[in-house]
Every structure is written in structure tokens, then in C-alpha cells.
């Protein structure tokens, strides 16, 4: 699973997931990309599940880029523990996803294969997605 090697502060606030993605909203490496249409926290397990779905669909063809990184720690408390006694331990790391963010990119494959692979990866995401290509951007 992806997680940061080190952080300045161990625990973070939850924050607000508002606005649209301007950075990371266009294709930078590949010919086709999977773009988010919703907003959510994307856990490192979900990122890995989507990556595995894409690489399995491509049958070792093409090149895959992961454009998001889970750098936000999420804490949780054990079930049945009483209120108080501070913030819980770090449970997982998530990436904050806003609408318009490119999650994966692929290159070196046909359009049909890319759409099939991204359909499988999109099923692993907690929001709606769409496939974008370089032809759209010009």
C-alpha cells in the first residue's frame, strides 16, 4: 500500500473537500486517463485495487501512471471505547479527490482496451468517473 515515508505532523485535521481540481486535471503522461466526477477520500487500498484492475486488463501491455498519492492520515478509535482520552491512532492514509482530478493514465494501448480497463478501475472508486483522451485536449 502507498503511504508517506515521513510527515512533519503525525495526525491531521479532517479538512473540507470543496472546490474543483485545477492542478492534476489534465493529462500529463499518457494518452488516456481516468477522471473523477465526484469528491471523496480515496484510500491507498482503493488506489491499489484500481491499479491492479487496470494492469490486469492491459495484459502487461502499455504503461500505467498513478497520478494521486495518499498523503492524508485518517485516525480511528477502537469500537466500544468511551469518549475522551485524545485522538485515535492512524488507521489508514487517503488522497483527497475533488471533481476533475486525473487518477490514472495509460499509454501505448488502443482506445477500446483503455476504456475497458478504466471501466473496471472505475468500479473500484467511491465516485463516478469518466475516460478522457488526448484527442479531447488537442
Give the pLDDT band (50/70/90) at residue 115.
very high
What are the domain boundaries of the chain?
Answer: 39-75+90-133
Q: What pLDDT does 36 receive? A: 97
Q: What pLDDT does 76 receive? A: 95
CA 103 to chain centre: 5
Mean pLDDT of 72-82: 94
Q: What pLDDT does 137 receive? A: 56
Give the pLDDT band (50/70/90) at residue 40.
very high
Q: Is the dihedral of CA 45, 27, 37, 101 positive or negative?
A: positive
pLDDT tens digits for range 2-34 = 999 999 999 999 999 999 999 999 999 999 999
Cell numbers standing for residue 128: 463516478
C-alpha atoms less than 13 angstroms from C-alpha of 7 in its C-beta half-sphere: 12
Neighbour tally for 26: CB within 10 Å? 15
CA gap 110, 114 in Å, rounded: 6
Give the pLDDT band (50/70/90) at residue 135.
confident
Neighbour tally for 48: CB within 10 Å? 15
Where is 121: in which H helix or E strand? helix 111-122
CATH 3.90.1170.10, domain 39-75+90-133, yes or no: yes
Amino acid at each position: 500500500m502507498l503511504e508517506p515515508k515521513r510527515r512533519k505532523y503525525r495526525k491531521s485535521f479532517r479538512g473540507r473537500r470543496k472546490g474543483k481540481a485545477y492542478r492534476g486535471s489534465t493529462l500529463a503522461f499518457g494518452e488516456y486517463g481516468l477522471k473523477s466526477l465526484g469528491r471523496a477520500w480515496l484510500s491507498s487500498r482503493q488506489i491499489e485495487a484500481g491499479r491492479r484492475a487496470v494492469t490486469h486488463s492491459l495484459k502487461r501491455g502499455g504503461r500505467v501512471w498513478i497520478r494521486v498519492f495518499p498523503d492524508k492520515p485518517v485516525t480511528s478509535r477502537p469500537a466500544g471505547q468511551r469518549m475522551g482520552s485524545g485522538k485515535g491512532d492512524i488507521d489508514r492514509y487517503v488522497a483527497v479527490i475533488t471533481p476533475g482530478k486525473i487518477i490514472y493514465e495509460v499509454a501505448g494501448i488502443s482506445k477500446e482496451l483503455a476504456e475497458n480497463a478504466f471501466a473496471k478501475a472505475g468500479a473500484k472508486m467511491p465516485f463516478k468517473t469518466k475516460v478522457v483522451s488526448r484527442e479531447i485536449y488537442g
